[in-house]
Structure formats: structure tokens, C-alpha cells
Amino acid sequence: MAWFKKAGSDRDSHDAVPPQIEARLKELENSVARYERIVRGSRHGYGFLDWDINSSRLEWNGTFWSSLGYGEADMAYISDAQKFMEYIHPDDQPKLSNAIHAHLRGLGLGEATFRIRKKKGGHIWSEVRVDSERDPRGWVSHISGIIFDVTKLKQTEQALLISEARHARIIQASNDGIWEWSAEHGSFHFSNRCWEHLGYTDHDDIVNQGIDRMHAWRSRIHEDDLAVFDSTLKEHIHQRKPFDVEYRIRGKDNEWRWIRARGQMDFNESGKPVRMSGTNMDVTHIKRAELRVMKAKEDAEKANRAKSDFLSSMSHELRTPLNAILGFAQLFDMDRNLTADQVANVAEIKKAGDHLLQLVGDVLDLAQIESGRMGFSLEPVTPVRLLKEVAALMQAQAEVRGISVSLETDDLDDCAVVADAVRLKQVLLNIASNAVKYNHDGGAVEIMCSIIDGSFFRISIRDTGKGIPADLQKDLFQPFNRLGAEGSNIVGSGVGLVITKQLVEQMRGSLGYNSAQGVGSTFWVELPLYTGQSIEQLANHYDRLPLALSNEVPTLLVEDKKRILYVEDNPPNQRLMKQLLVRYPNIELDITGEPVRGIYLARTVKPDLIILDINLPGMDGFETLEVLKQDSTTQNIPVVALTANAMVHDIEKGKQVGFNYYLTKPLDLKQLIDVFNELLVSK
């Protein structure tokens, strides 16, 4: 084409270009310019390639290689088809080589995905799409196409695969079945796990009934529960209430299984339901445990009523002969003709009779408190007046052993508290009596009054006795446990402090102590101050008063954030725990009153510590602990029992089944914080 000159240039008439050729050249010129603009405008790692098979040269256009950090000086090497493979990731070289050979043989789609090395290290994912031109013999002479960066697409695919695998593992580990309803297809899908809950396998005909699966499922739901199921679904669709329902369904063995179904409906822009997805949880073992617990509770209530009736009857039967024994002993005591030995014998009879009468009274009081039958008459009471009576009564007993008794009222004679006067006097007499009983000869008892936080009246009774050994203090409020005093000549039943503590708490107060061996002990009672309200207001206000707390806040050694789950069905106890832990801002508290909900929260929020009551609705704390320990998600979470079941056999059972600690009510904040420090600091 040496004869070609651009339009407008000087040329001889015999060099003139035919119009059709000039138009074709112009079209080619525009096409080249267009492709050049496309290449220059590509800013996302696109490149165009043309491979001359005969010369083994690769021609590159576009920004692909420059986006990988390569410059013009690198392109001569990259354009050599024999050396191009060096830039491919070693793991992908065989795959790319096979794709090229397949295309040369006329096989494959001319597409390949592989990793290419960047100039400064690392690789990106790329995809190439090509077509080929063949000579008359059918041999490929040129391969041309486009190459581009698909790294983000590959990363998205990998993330999706990881997410799908994670969800599959979660579903597999949870043992829950999944189901979905679609309005578009009018279909209902159950996973195989749903049918496995009923005892079926993939090979059972009922599982392979296609569109009849929903009908097959509903036909097996207990007729009493089907209406509840439909009502819950209706409320979820029309009122957007949570779909969470438990129902019975007949299994393959014709036994009833319990299923807990939860789901969520999706709605379109017009508010019509389009899709609903959910899960089925097999809660048969929990429901069966609930039935066992309910049966055990009924039996326990019958036994408790029988025990209370027996104790009341026995108290009456014991007091009748005791009346005769002590009455005749008093008659003998008045006889001045008795010998010294006879007088001593009568004194022993009276002493033993008094002890037996006190024991009967203590046991009956304890039974009445535990059964809730002990009545209280709440009224404004002046503690100082009662303390003066108590000090006077103790004086004679103390003087025999040379023990001094002092009362310091701190000018609080006119202060009143909310209490039952008779029961409060019983409390103060018991504490003061112990202060004298367990004191040294020639010791001292100090009774002191003070106001705490402007809301509580504190009565402290200090003695100079032997004190309570540290290793025995944890058993101080255990019924019939005398902390080793049973081997001494000090008379007692071992239930006095238990009764005292429960009486104080029934009046919405608190009982506390500190003791040092060889120094002595101080016991204190705190009761809410009376602020002048009427008796009617007092009764209403009394039910809302929080338990009195000591002003001594134990030190929490846990510094970082910790999450605690508290499973307790008693609202006042829940409020108490909240008020206790609000003093520690780094402790986050979750509370639930249902053991099944507690198990769910333990699996989902994964707390650092679980505090578990024993007497829970539906299933008790021991069964709840068993479920937690069998689940790999929760089996390593420390669990602490906090319960009113304080008998020795209850505590031993708690230790045997796996509680990290078994704490008894009423809650001792210092003891609880010590447990936190033990279980949470090292985590």
C-alpha cells in the first residue's frame, strides 16, 4: 500500500484512492481509536491480549499489568509466551497449561481462572476469556481475548463458603432442625434433622412424601396443641408477636415428643408474608424432667405438710409430759427437807427439762419459719427499749461468771424501726445469750446502737469470747451444727442462730458478724428505720423494702469486663442481686427466671460465670446443671449454686454433681465476691 497518502495531500491522479477503500480505512482508523480509548479508560485491571502462536509473542494492551506494578521495561519479558508461565502461581500452572492445550485441540470454553504474581510480591486472582483464529489446515494461529482481576470476587466466594460451612457446623452441633416456607413456590421444607427428632431416617416413606410433608407433620401434632400452634402462628403474622411455641408430636414409636418451634416471617413492601424460616428443638428430655420435678415438688409439699403437722403434734405431746416433769421438779425444789444430794438431783432434772423444752420450741419455730406459717405483726418498735429489757435479763446470768454487760444507746432512744416487737426481742435475747454463753469468765459484753446510711438502725453485740475458727464460719448458719461445741458443757440445740437469721430476714433486715479466734465475736442486726408513715402505708411499703446491706463493700479483684448469668425465679432475690452487683460496674448481669431460658442464654451469650438457684420452675438446678455440662458450648463455664436448700445432704449433693461452689441463702455478699475473685480473676 505504498500508494496510499492521507486525504488532502498532494498526489498524482493515478495515485487516487478508490472511495470504498478510503471509507474502509476510515472505519478501521475509528475502530482503532475506539479500542485505544477503551484501553486508556480501563482502571480496574483489564487487559487485552493477542498471542501470535507462530512467533510465540504476546501483545498486551490495557492497565492489567501496570495495576500489578509492572512497567514498560518488564513487558518485553512478559510478552514472551515461553516465559509468561513464570508469573503464574505454581499451584495453578498445570491447570492453565491444560486449559491452553484443550483450547488448541478445540475443546473447552476458552476460559480459565488462576493467580498471577504481583511485582512486589503476593498474588491476585485473574480470569482470562479468549477466542482463537485457525489457518486453512485447522491449526490455531492467533489467540485473542481479555484478562481481568477477579480477586474481590474470589474473596467473596471464599467468605461465602466459610460462612456456609460455619452455619452448617452450628446447625449440626446444635441438634436443631430447620424448616422454611415459601409463598412464591407454595412449598414447605423440613431438614432431615426435624424428622430425626421423631425417630425417622431418610429411607422412611413419610420423609419422602414431597409436598405432603407439611400435612404429614401436622397430622402427627397432638390435637390439644394444634390449636395453640395455629394461634401462635396467626398472632405472629397479624400482630408480629414472636413465634415461639412448644407442642407435642407423635414419633415413629408412637410416643409423644416435645418440640419447641421458633421462627420469623418475612413480609414484602405491601405487608404480605412471603417467606418464613425457623428451627425445631427437641425438648422432650426437658419436659420429662419438668414432669419429674413437678411430681417431686408435689411429693415434697405433701411431705413438708406432713412434717409440719407432725412437729406441731409432737410439740404438743412433748410439752404435756414436760409440764408434769418440770412442775413436780418445782414442787420438790420448794421442799426444804430435801438433802443436798436430792437438791442437786432436782436441779439436774430441771436443767435437762428446760433444755428439752427449749429444743422443742426451737425445732417448732424453725419448722414454722420454713413453712411460712409464722405470723408477724409489723409496727413501729423502739429498739432501745427492748435492749434495756434484754440487758436486764442477761445481767443475772452474766454476773454468775463475772461477765460485765454494757449498753451504749448513742442518744437513739427515740428512734423506731419496722419490726415485730415479740420476734425482735427473741432475736436480741438469742444473740445476747450467746455472747454470755460463749464468753470467758470475767469477760465483757458490749451492746451498741448506730444509724447506717441514714436508712437502717444497727444493733451490735460484741463479746470477748474464744471467737469462731475461720474454717468453721462457713457452717455457722447450718441447722443443728454447733461448730464443735457439742463436746463441751455448754447447752444448746444448734438452731438458735438459724432461727435468729431467718426471723431478721422475715422482717426485711439483715444479720451479719465478724469473728476472730482468741479475740471474740461481734454480731449485728440491721432493720429499716420507721419514718412516720401510717400502719396501712407501712404494710405496703414493707413489701418493697430491699434487704438491708452492710456498709462494708468487699473488694472485687476482677478488673476487666465480666458477664454473669443469674437464673433465679424469685423477683425479690433478682432485685437483691441487681442492687448488690450495681456496686461493681465491670460486672454485666443477665437475669432470667426460667431454666430453659437460662440454658439458651448460656449457649448464646456465653457468660463467664453462671449463678443457679436449685428450686426453679419446670426443672431444678441439678437437672439444669446436667444439661449445661452435657453441652460442649457450656460445659466449661463455672456454675455456682445459690439456694435456700441448706441441709447438709443438700450441700454434699451439690458438691458431688459438679457445682464449683454451693452457697446458701441468705446471700452473703463477701462470700459471693470471694467466689468471683476465685473463679473470674484467672480467666
User: Is residue 105 a contact partner of residue 153, using CB atoms and an 8 Å limit?
Assistant: no
Give the angle subtended at the CA of 168 by the CAs of 276 and 602, to the nearest 5°. Answer: 85
The percentage of residues in the chain with a pLDDT greater than 90, rounded to a whole number, is: 23
Q: Indicate the SS3 state at residue 573.
A: helix
Query: Hey, what's the cell of 611?
Result: 449463678
The reported pLDDT for the residue numbered 505 is 85
Euclidean distance between the first and final Cα of the chain, in Å? Answer: 86
Highest averaged pLDDT of the listed ranges 175-179, 480-484, 492-496, 546-550:
175-179
Q: What is the spatial distance between Cα 526 and Cα 415, in angstroms, rounded to a whole number?
A: 13
**Residue type at position 77:** Y
- CB within 8 Å of 67: residues ≥ 6 apart: 44, 45, 149
More confident call, 167 vs 160: 160
Please choose, from the candidates 21, 115, 4, the residue with its C-alpha nearest in 3D space to the C-alpha of residue 68: 115
The percentage of residues in the chain with a pLDDT greater than 70, rounded to a whole number, is: 77
Mean pLDDT of the chain: 80
Helical (H) or strand (E) element with 214: helix 213-218
Lowest mean pLDDT among 32-41, 210-219, 244-253: 32-41
pLDDT-derived band at 639, boundaries 50, 70, 90: very high
In the block, residue with C-alpha cell 418475612: 266
Q: Is the pLDDT of residue 244 over 90?
A: yes
Lowest mean pLDDT among 4-18, 233-247, 342-356: 4-18
Q: Is the pLDDT of residue 38 over 70?
A: no
The reported pLDDT for the residue numbered 308 is 64
Burial label for 295, CB within 10 Å (0-12, 13-18, 19+), is exposed
User: Is residue 609 a contact partner of residue 634, using CB atoms and an 8 Å limit?
Assistant: no
CATH number of 17-152: 3.30.450.20
Domain boundaries, the chain: 17-152, 175-282, 304-371, 379-542, 562-680
Please choose, from the candidates 229, 310, 312, 287, the residue with its C-alpha nearest in 3D space to the C-alpha of residue 263: 229
pLDDT-derived band at 144, boundaries 50, 70, 90: confident
* CATH fold label, 562-680: Rossmann fold (3.40.50)
- SS3 labels along 357-412: HHHHHHHHHHHHHHHCCCCCCCEEECHHHHHHHHHHHHHHHHHCCCCEEEEECCCC
The reported pLDDT for the residue numbered 353 is 75
Q: What is the spatial distance between Cα 486 and Cα 488, in angstroms, rounded to a whole number?
A: 5
Q: Is the pLDDT of residue 610 over 90?
A: yes
pLDDT-derived band at 550, boundaries 50, 70, 90: very low
**Span 180-195, average pLDDT:** 80
- Strands (DSSP E) contained in 283-387 are 379-381
pLDDT-derived band at 2, boundaries 50, 70, 90: very low
Edge-first strand listing for the sheet containing 510-516: 404-408, 444-452, 456-463, 520-528, 510-516
* 175-282: CATH architecture: 2-Layer Sandwich (3.30)
Q: What are phi and psi of 444, to 5 degrees?
A: -140, 150
**Span 112-124, average pLDDT:** 92
Lowest mean pLDDT among 269-273, 302-306, 442-446, 631-635: 302-306
The reported pLDDT for the residue numbered 208 is 53
Q: Is the pLDDT of residue 377 over 50?
A: yes
CATH number of 304-371: 1.10.287.130
pLDDT-derived band at 544, boundaries 50, 70, 90: very low
Lowest mean pLDDT among 42-51, 123-132, 448-457: 42-51
The reported pLDDT for the residue numbered 369 is 63
The reported pLDDT for the residue numbered 673 is 86
Please choose, from the candidates 378, 395, 366, 376, the residue with its C-alpha nearest in 3D space to the C-alpha of residue 497: 366
Instruction: Give 3-state DSSP helix, strand, coil % of the chain, rounded to 5.
Output: 45, 25, 30
User: Is residue 500 a contact partner of residue 427, using CB atoms and an 8 Å limit?
Assistant: yes
* CATH fold label, 379-542: Heat Shock Protein 90 (3.30.565)
More confident call, 481 vs 651: 651
Q: Is the pLDDT of residue 7 over 50?
A: no
Distances (CA, A) of 242 to 116, 235, 259, 432: 51, 8, 16, 58
Give the angle subtended at the CA of 501 by the CAs of 495 and 504, to the nearest 5°. Answer: 135
Instruction: Judge if 17-152 and 175-282 fold alike in CATH terms.
Output: yes
